[in-house]
Amino acid sequence: MPKKKGQKKAKNSTIYAHIREHDHNDGNEVIDDEAYEIKKSNKKKRNHTSENDDLDNHPGVIYPEIIYYLISAFVHPEDIGTFAAINKATYSITKRESFWHSLYKRYCENHMKLPKKLRIEENYRAYGLRQRVIRALYHTHDVFLERTAKQSAYDSRPHSLVGRRCVNSWFTKGQLNWSVFFKLKKQADINLRDEAGRVDANPEEGTKVLQVFCKTLYNMPPLMGLTLSSVSLTLSQGFSSQKLHLGFNKGNSVSRNIFPECSIVLDSVVSLNVFDWWHPNYPHFEVKPPVLERDEESSPVLDVDFFEMCDDDLNTYEL
C-alpha cells in the first residue's frame, strides 16, 4: 500500500533530527576530549611545579667532604673533569696538592715511559703540580696515549688559531727540512699574585704551538706581541707541496676585512701540526714561580754577616 506524502515527510524529518542529534553529540565529545586534555596538561603542570617545590624543600642528602676525599683516590684520570663538576667539595679536592700526588703515584711513578724531566720528587714544590702530572699522564696513561695516537696531521686546524697573540717564534734546521714554531696564546689577563703558590698554576694555559715543516725558509721577522689575523693554506707551483700564508696585526681586534700589517709565507710545506700544552710533542720550558714584590719584601733587609761587620768596625775604632 503506497505511503502518503505526509507520512513520508514526517519520516524524513525524524531522520534529520537523529542526524542533527548525532552530530551534536559528536561535537560534545570533541569538546569533552579537548577539555580533558587541557585538564590533564594543567594537572601535569601542577604536579611538575609541586615536584619542583618538593625538590627545593628537600635538596637531597649532603655528604661530608671526607666522603668525596676518599672517593677521589679511585678516580681515573679521564674522569677528573666529571668528578670536579659534582659539587664544590669535589672541585676543591682537585685543587689540592695531595690529590695530584696520589694520581702521580698511581699512574706515573716508576713508569718506564715517563721522561726524566717530568719525574716528581718528594720535595717538589706545589706550584704547577697539576700541569706536570697531566703532562706525565700523556706519557704513561693508556687512554691518553690512544688519544694522541689518533691525532694526525689532518686533525690539525691552523685556522682555529686566529685571534691568538704570538708570544714566541723560533726555527731549527734539520737534515732535510726546516722546523718553524709559532707559540700562540689566548688573550687574557694574568694576575701573577694569584698564580703564585697555586697547585693548578699553568703559564701555558690557553697556549698552542703551530709547528711547520718546510723545505725552504727565507725570512722570519719578529712577531712577539702581534695577533694572528689570517691563515691561508694553498698549493704551491707545480702542485707538489703546500704554501702557508700567515697574517699578523697589532692590537686585539681581528676582522676578515683587515689587511695584515705583517705577512709570512712558508713555501714547500711538508706538514704542519697544532699542539696543546699537554701534548708530548709540545715544546716546554722549565716552569718557575713568578717573582713578586712580596718575595723581595720577605728577604732579609740586613746581610747575614751584618753584625760581624759592625764588631769589626768597632774594634778598628777602639784601636
pLDDT digits (tens, 9 = 90+) for 8-29: 445 555 544 554 554 444 444 4
Structural domain contains residue 53: no
Q: Which domain holds residue 254?
A: 153-295
Burial grade of 4 (CB within 10 A; 0-12, 13-18, 19 or more): exposed
Lowest mean pLDDT among 1-5, 37-41, 136-140: 1-5
Indicate the number of domains in the chain: 2
Return the half-sphere exposure (C-beta side, CA atoms, 13 A cut-off) of residue 95: 10
- Residue 280 and residue 244 in one domain: yes
Greater confidence (261 vs 155) lies with: 261
Structural domain contains residue 26: no
- Residue 250 and residue 219 in one domain: yes
Q: Which of 99, 90, 89 is nearest to 126 (CA)?
A: 99
| Dist. CA 12–CA 3, nearest whole Å | 13
Report the pLDDT value the prediction gives residue 194, as an integer from 0 to 100.
Answer: 52
- Residue 165 and residue 237 in one domain: yes
- Positive/negative CA dihedral, 140, 143, 148, 150: positive
- For the record, the C-alpha cell of 297 comes out as 719584601
| Dist. CA 62–CA 14, nearest whole Å | 74
| Dist. CA 317–CA 319, nearest whole Å | 5
Q: Which of 61, 97, 82 is nearest to 198 (CA)?
A: 97
Name 173's bridge partners.
178
Lowest mean pLDDT among 15-29, 41-55, 142-156, 158-172: 15-29
Report the pLDDT value the prediction gives residue 71, as an integer from 0 to 100.
Answer: 93
**SS3 at position 116:** helix
Element (H, E) at 89: helix 88-93
Lowest mean pLDDT among 25-29, 34-38, 156-160: 25-29
State which of 91, 115, 150 marks the end of a domain: 150
| Dist. CA 108–CA 119, nearest whole Å | 8
- Residue 287 and residue 187 in one domain: yes
**SS3 at position 126:** coil
Structural domain contains residue 124: yes
- Residue 259 and residue 227 in one domain: yes
Structural domain contains residue 185: yes
Structural domain contains residue 304: no
